[in-house]
Chain A
Amino acid sequence: MHTEYKYWYPYISPLDPCPPIKVKSYNTPPNLYLGFQPPSLPQFQPREALFHGTLWPALFSPYPNGREDEVTNE
């Protein structure tokens, strides 16, 4: 399983006027990893599919989600 977010630690200058955001993140949804979709993947039921925005759990990308839980702010 891949992670939905990747993190990086930007350079912080003592001269930056805004309080620094120490960790930044970007979204990496499942379409970046699935490759050519294999046949017969598990599916949502129709109503569940509608409310997830896709028929296949393998393509579901929750948002917003997982940001703060995954990262430790030092």
Chain B
Amino acid sequence: MNKTMPPEFYKLMEDIQAVDFVLVELSLYLDTHPDDYEAVQQFNYYVKQSKELKKQYEKQFGPLKEYGASYSTYPWSWDDVPWPWQI
């Protein structure tokens, strides 16, 4: 029972990594520049993008986050492979 992830999985994962990386960078920037209005707007723009991409990902490949931060599939698929280091 060997499962191989399709190319769309890698593509979508990388799209999410790119958008989430911008959010990491803007978070650290805003921690020292809390009054930068333009950066806050940009942050919220990418929050929306990230949510949309993750909704699309989770529909195809299952939950990204634990403890109820993502909706569950039936049956429960949180423990399905691959884990991030196995990809």
Chain A residues packing against B (C-beta within 8 Å): 36-37, 39-40, 46-47, 49-50, 54-56
Contacts and interface: CB of A to CB of B under 8 A. Distances in A.
A49 B24 CA distance: 11
Interface of B: 14, 17-19, 21-22, 25-26, 29, 32-33, 36, 38-39, 46
B18 A37 contact: no
Q: Is the interface of B mostly helix, strand, loop or mixed?
A: helix
A50 B20 CA distance: 9
Contacts of A36: 32
A55 B22 contact: yes
Chain A interface mostly helix, strand, loop or mixed? loop
A39 B26 contact: no
A39 B30 CA distance: 10
A57 B21 CA distance: 15
Nearest to A40: B38
List 10 A-B pairs, minimum CB-CB distance, nearest first: A55-B25, A46-B18, A47-B18, A50-B21, A50-B18, A46-B22, A39-B36, A46-B19, A49-B22, A50-B17
Contacts of A55: 21-22, 25-26, 29
